[in-house]
Amino acid sequence: MTERIFNFSAGPAVIPLPVLEEAQRDLLALPGVGMSVMEISHRSKTFDEIIQSADSGLRELLNIPEDYAVLFLQGGASLQFAMVPMNFLSLDSSADYIVTGSWGKKAVKEALKFGTVDLAANMADGGFTRIPNQDELQLNPSAAYVHLTSNETIEGVEWKSEPEIGDVPLVADASSSILSKPIAVEKYGLIYAGAQKNMGPSGVTVVIIREDLLPRSRDGLATMLDYRTHATNKSLYNTPNTWGVYILNLVCQWLKEKGGLAAMQRENEDKAKLLYDAIDATEFYRGHADPDSRSMMNVTFRLPSEDLEKKFAGEATAAGLDGLKGHRSVGGIRASIYNAFPRTGCETLVEFMKEFEKKNG
């Protein structure tokens, strides 16, 4: 099969077609280099230009202030669940975690291995359907940091703005919302995100860290787990994922050509509205998240029975709409519609939903 289908996967996820085409065109030899990007030294001038360009692409798109370092690491967001507390949580301090879904829970589980964790809010009741209000947060003004998950990929709930947390550094797992809309980076101490949803292939993790936090890293950490190593060596202490950084750079260029993140946000809101309107139009489909906490990237909904959900996902796959089965831990249907996912795919899904209801409702 060489036809591209509509890929609703939560990640690794759809990559912009022009990016894939450019990578394909230059796969055997980068122009003027005569070797593929996977065959050149990470210390070569060519790769240096690529990583610098990826760095400045992210800085431009996200409007990252100068006093932040951008790091290209490995180990996924899952390693960041550990690196954040390893670096910033000491035995005599505690961190506040706001848990809005399955990924936040995992972040807590990991942090507990390194120190004291307080749950500033835990939205587990009702199955993680909403973001807490400001007055529901129990914040400790002397916490080492406050951690939140910008968008819970599994449940489909998303923060629309940052909570007020005073002077404590805000740490965000932005894996499934980064680059989907503009964000105020200056409100964060650290943002981390795996690349495989909105930035490129798996295997690269972006960390954006305010430089004044670096001296707070705990001494005695393994070299590779210490943020200072990567900041000092500009992500080249060891061999980075050169291919991943190359694709991430092309994705940044694609986003800039599209008009940046404000333009991207308009497209994403429009795509998400198509799906949420279709869900709200009938009793047959039931959105998982509360309307004001709904994710723009992962649209989660239920059908009247698990059997129907199974049938829905199976028939959708056969119709060229792939990856709609909800995460194995929660079931239901999940349509992941990241930046590169086309509007026509959302329109096709809406038509499919109407037809499916007609036949099975």
Ligand X SMILES: Cc1ncc(COP(=O)(O)O)c(C=O)c1O
Q: Which residues are catalytic?
A: 103, 173, 197
User: Which residues here bind ligand X, judged by CB under 6 A?
Assistant: 11, 76-78, 103, 149, 153, 173, 175-176, 194
List Cβ neighbours of 131 (8 Å cut-off, separation of 6 or more). Answer: 100, 123, 157, 158, 159, 160, 292, 293
Q: Is 335 helix (H, G, I), strand (E, B) or coil?
A: strand
Smallest separation, CB 338 to ligand X (Å): 11
Smallest separation, CB 241 to ligand X (Å): 12
The Cα–Cα gap between 5 and 41 comes to 35
Smallest separation, CB 148 to ligand X (Å): 11
State which residue, 191 or 303, has the beta carbon closest to ligand X.
191
State which residue, 101 or 189, has the beta carbon closest to ligand X.
101
Nearest Cα residue to 33 out of 24, 20, 46: 46
Q: What is the 3-state secondary structure (H, E, C) of 83-143?
A: HHHHHHCCCCCEEEEEECCHHHHHHHHHHCCCCEEEEEEECCCCCCCCCCCHHHCCCCCCC
Smallest separation, CB 267 to ligand X (Å): 21
* 181 neighbors 200 (Cβ within 8 angstroms): no
Q: Is 290 helix (H, G, I), strand (E, B) or coil?
A: coil
* 121 neighbors 132 (Cβ within 8 angstroms): yes
State which residue, 11 or 40, has the beta carbon closest to ligand X.
11
DSSP 186: G
Select the residue whose beta carbon is closest to ligand X and give its number.
76
Longest dimension (CA), the chain: 63
State which residue, 23 or 174, has the beta carbon closest to ligand X.
174
Smallest separation, CB 257 to ligand X (Å): 26
State which residue, 100 or 249, has the beta carbon closest to ligand X.
100
The Cα–Cα gap between 145 and 189 comes to 8
